[in-house]
Amino acid sequence: MYAIVEDSGTQIKVSTGDILEVDLRDVEGDTITLDNVLMIGGEGEPTLGTPYIDGASVAVEVLEEVKGDKIDVIKFKRRKGYRRKTGHRQRYLKVKVGEISAKKKTTKKKTAKKTTKKSDDE
């Protein structure tokens, strides 16, 4: 079973047991619930949201906080003696995908009500 979730403007395809990096955020406890589920598939026909699936969520467990690769930012203007070099390391949360849950759609059967008119003679 897999799901496509939206997190911080990015769409991520996840399945149970995957380890991935998401943007850093304040976390209370060891788990995060991702509620913006766009699609769930893997068992039969996939379920698509418009834009999100109501009642669907993905539970992820926070493993640790990590830093990404260093990115060098270089500014240079020729013949002017202007050179600037700065760097940046983005911080991420390393998480492990746990349970993918979706609220099942239930179809309601319509029951016809039988109405009887009472006459005034009775």
The pLDDT tens digits for 70-110 are 999 999 999 999 999 999 999 999 999 999 988 765 555 56
What pairs with residue 95 in β-bridges? 20, 62
Domain range summary for the chain, segments of one domain joined by +: 2-64+93-101
pLDDT, tens only, 30-68 = 999 999 999 999 878 888 989 999 999 999 999 999 999
Instruction: State yes or no: pLDDT of 15 exceeds 70.
Output: yes
Pairing of strands 2-7, 47-48: unpaired
Residue 84 C-alpha from the chain's centroid: 38
Q: How far apart are CA 118 and CA 82, in angstroms?
A: 96
